[in-house]
Amino acid sequence: MHPQNRNLCIKVIKASCENTNFLEDEIKYYRKIQERNKNYTLTFFSHYRGTIETNLGIGYLYDIIRDHDGKISLSLKSYIETRAIKEFPNSLSKVALSSLMDKMVKYRVFGYDVYHHNLLCRLVNNNEIELVLIDGLGIKVKSSSIRSRFAFLVDYSEFIARTRVESLFLPLSKILSDSEKNTNM
């Protein structure tokens, strides 16, 4: 957390990390979606706020995600591991996941690292959660494959965007379904 601003966190890249390009790519992507969606307030991902010098090197500032009561939101992974996911009313987490997917398609905002540890469950109120992506924003082009060459089309086609989002969320959907089955036992 930022020492002077309780609404910001500082992401510092470990010195042992060989590839820091991913963060630069994420910031470029963030600026692109910010410009494209400047008339909207998008709350389903953590916003990048700039850099700061730290004793560990350059720090990247992001919003801290908080629940309606001011507490820092927990990750979906934490809710699943502690079985606290059963606290949410009947399939609320699936509704939140579907809502996140719809927003990503509508505003053409994508994540390449959509795992339960990179999604926070913001408690909007006692009966509503919003999933917020906190890491891995952007479209990762892994190779020179045909699929990678046409990755930019997600910005122009809702069908391609929806297909991409659904494929990204398949593993997470399975984890969520399995966790709900286990908590109902």
Residue 3 lies in a domain: no
Domain that holds residue 65: 8-183
Residue 150 lies in a domain: yes
How many domains, in total, are found in the chain? 1
Q: Which amino acid is at 182?
A: N
> Is pTM, for the whole model, over 0.95?
no
Helix intervals (H) in the chain: 21-36, 76-81, 92-107, 146-149, 158-183
Task: Return mean pLDDT, the chain.
Answer: 82
The mean pLDDT of 89-110, rounded to a whole number, is 84
Residue 161 lies in a domain: yes
Residue 94 lies in a domain: yes
| Cβ neighbours for 51, distance < 8 A, ≥ 6 positions apart | 58, 59, 60, 61
pLDDT, tens digit, 9 for 90 and up, residues 21-43: 778 888 888 888 888 888 888 99
Residue 1 lies in a domain: no
Residue 58 lies in a domain: yes
Lowest mean pLDDT among 25-29, 76-80, 92-96: 92-96
Residue 2 lies in a domain: no
Q: Which amino acid is at 14?
A: K
Residue 3 has pLDDT above 90, yes or no: no
